[in-house]
Amino acid sequence: MDNHFTVTIHDDNGVKQFNVHKFIKKAFLYAGLFLLTIALIASGTILYLNASMDKLQAKKREVVQAYEKMLHKNQELQATMNRTTQSLLQKEKELDELSDSLSQIETLIGLKPIADDSLADRVNMTMLNSTHRATLLELIPSGSPIEYRGITSKFGKRAHPILQKQEFHRGIDMKAKLKTPVYATADAIVEWAGIHKRSGFGKLIILAHVYGFKTYFGHLNKIVVKSGQFVKKGELIAYTGNSGLSNGPHLHYEIRFMHRALNPYYFVKWTQQNYNEIFEKEKRVPWQSLIVATSLIKVVKRTQTRQLSQLERKSKAK
């Protein structure tokens, strides 16, 4: 069997023949196939890598866009946090100022805040709205019991005008002509209405108010209420006079709290307009307790102290 083949080459020099073994032929054939396979694999690999690279580039672009969005949101969040921080600092400053103002009000009215109380609780405790104020002014003696024309003798030490000896004047003597109408300065029960010889007040009315307050009206001419009777603020109770140890017509007016004499002048001038002044001027009253006690009480209809007309005075005098 012939395992060779002849290769003939024609050129300018003539014809040349080469004998090549068939094994070499197969070797070239296999080598060619191998190289072709390698080329196909390489081409496929390159195409795959190119496709993978495109995907990676797309992923990279997505990541970059997401990062830029996140960075933008982070900047917005940071700006929001800065604004919130500034707002909180401003609110904290305002709360500090409010707390300082609240402390001044608490000191003014005698409140002693508890350490565990929140600012809201403290505000609620000191928040005296018009209704609450009206309630206090209705229940606690306030305003003038007569048409105010001045004072002839103040509260405190003085020489008694009749006995001519030093004494502590527990009330004030208010200027008034004979038979000037006298009105209750707060809702009350009439505790005493009649002549009171031992005190020297002559005809005397004692009104018992809520929360330990009492008012005294001395040297009266005529009494128009009776003991045990309930009277409203502004209601007529008597007429001024000169009875008892008195050197002329006037009204002796006292206010007592738990048997302690208070300066009536502060209460005579106590109104909605100067509402807080009394808390500073009169320290012997536990205003904190009174505010707490009256915080849930509401007077349905407020009665103002009024002056009677000439016709009413005549009808009452009969």
Q: What is the pLDDT of residue 100?
A: 72
Q: What is the DSSP string of 37-62?
A: HHHHHHHHHHHHHHHHHHHHHHHHHH
What range defines the domain where residue 24 resides? 4-73
Residue 96 belongs to some domain of the structure: no
Residue 89 belongs to some domain of the structure: no
258 & 175 share domain: yes
Percent of the chain with pLDDT over 70: 76
Residue 18 belongs to some domain of the structure: yes
189 & 261 share domain: yes
d(CA 67, CA 239) in angstroms, rounded, equals 91
Read off the pLDDT of residues 261-270 as tens digits, 9 standing for 90 and up: 999 999 999 9
269 & 139 share domain: yes
Strand partners, 159: 166
61 & 145 share domain: no
d(CA 170, CA 217) in angstroms, rounded, equals 12
Residue 88 belongs to some domain of the structure: no
64 & 145 share domain: no
61 & 142 share domain: no
* Stronger pLDDT, 214 or 165, i.e. the higher one: 214
160 & 31 share domain: no
Residue 292 belongs to some domain of the structure: yes
CATH number of residue 207's parent domain: 2.70.70.10
Read off the pLDDT of residues 65-94 as tens digits, 9 standing for 90 and up: 999 999 889 999 999 999 998 988 888 888
Residue type (1 letter), 286: P
Read off the pLDDT of residues 149-203 as tens digits, 9 standing for 90 and up: 999 989 988 766 666 677 888 999 999 999 999 999 999 999 999 999 888 899 9
Q: What is the pLDDT of residue 238?
A: 97
d(CA 277, CA 27) in angstroms, rounded, equals 122
Q: What is the pLDDT of residue 312?
A: 40
Read off the pLDDT of residues 29-62 as tens digits, 9 standing for 90 and up: 888 888 889 988 988 889 888 888 888 888 999 9
Q: Are 220 and 260 in contact (CB under 8 A)?
A: no
Residue 146 belongs to some domain of the structure: yes
Among candidate residues 38, 73, 108, the one where a domain is terminated: 73
176 & 306 share domain: yes
303 & 225 share domain: yes
What is the b/e burial string over 74-113, where b = at least 16 CB atoms within 10 angstroms of the residue's CB? eeeeeeeeeeeeeeeeeeeeeeeeeeeebeebbeebbbeb
146 & 261 share domain: yes
38 & 182 share domain: no
165 & 40 share domain: no
Q: What is the pTM of this model?
A: 0.59
Number of domains in the chain: 2
Residue 120 belongs to some domain of the structure: no
Q: What is the pLDDT of residue 44?
A: 87
Residue 108 belongs to some domain of the structure: no
